[in-house]
Amino acid sequence: TIKQQLKLVKRRLPQDISITKCKLSQNTLQNLKNTVEALSKIMNVLFMVSKGVLHLVTVNTETDVSITHEKLWEILSNACEKVYETDDRGPSQNIRDVLIATNTDMSQLAQYLLENEHEIMAAPSEKDKTAPPIVLRAQAVKKQLEETKTLTATLENREAEIRQLKLEKKLKQNELSEMQIRKDLAEKKLSVLQQDYETNVTKLQKQYEDVSEQLKKKEKEFEDTLDHLQNDIDSLEEERSSMRVKLKAYGTKTDFKSTVLQITAGSPFIAQELTLLKKAFNDERSE
């Protein structure tokens, strides 16, 4: 704020009348002069406003008088018109511009005095050359006290910064601890999921092996069945060929029937085959 900037400027300005030790540029001095003039206009406006308000309040002392916001704004606008004349841009704009310019100038001046504080304090003045020793000693002690105050203020600022940094460090440590806890929980969850995955993989692998083993058994049984059926087919083929040879060897029906009875007594499959052969033989003879 402007008040804080003015305190900093007042503390860092030389205490004697030799303001030339500050080595301010002409541009800076002119800006300060313009700022003083602008502030003087605002003071005149506020004086006129207070005068108008006081007049309204003291007109009738028997009753309580309250001034509305619109009336106060009207008084302020009239005061600005009288003070600023053609440069008037309204109360809010006039006051805002002056305060912004003042704050900027004071900030720049305080920064300049802070950066050149040691040079300003160390610069000798003409008064120091003619002052008696006791005065010079007093000025030296005063200068040391001022430097001590400056160093104390700087130290306090550094301590405040250190406390702030410690607080930020603590917050970062808490944040890091929280992130570490989250990391541990995530790793634990990942470990559980990995164990479940390995268990499922093992279970599926075992099921696959069981199914593969059963499939191999079924394939072996199927192959054995096919081999057995193929052997039966081969045996029947041989028996059928033998039957055909025997049928050709027998010429009479009686011999054929007795032979059929002898063969069919051994196997029902052969009996069925012989029945078919008998039918084929009869058909051949009838032709």
Q: Look at residue 48 in the predicted model and tell me its pLDDT.
A: 87
Cα dist from 253 to 35, 174, 211, 242, 265, whole Å: 152, 114, 59, 18, 18
144 in a structural domain: no
User: In the prediction, which pLDDT does 268 show?
Assistant: 60
Q: Are 89 and 96 in contact (CB under 8 A)?
A: no
pLDDT of amino acid 151: 85
In a domain, 33, yes or no: yes
pLDDT at residue 278, rounded to an integer: 66
Identify whether the C-beta of residue 2 lies closer than 8 Å to the C-beta of residue 103: yes
Domain membership of residue 24 as a residue range: 1-124
Query: Does residue 194 belong to any structural domain of this protein?
Result: no
Residue 191 lies in a domain: no
Cα distance between residue 53 and residue 136, in whole Å: 53
Question: Does some domain include residue 131?
Answer: no
Please check whether residue 101 lies inside any domain of the structure. Answer: yes
pLDDT at residue 252, rounded to an integer: 47
Q: Is residue 104 part of a domain?
A: yes
Please indicate, yes or no, if residue 240 is contained in any of the structural domains: no
Count of domains in the chain? 1
pLDDT along the chain (287 residues), means of 10: 73 59 71 83 87 78 71 86 82 84 81 70 54 76 85 85 88 90 90 89 90 88 82 80 74 51 55 66 58
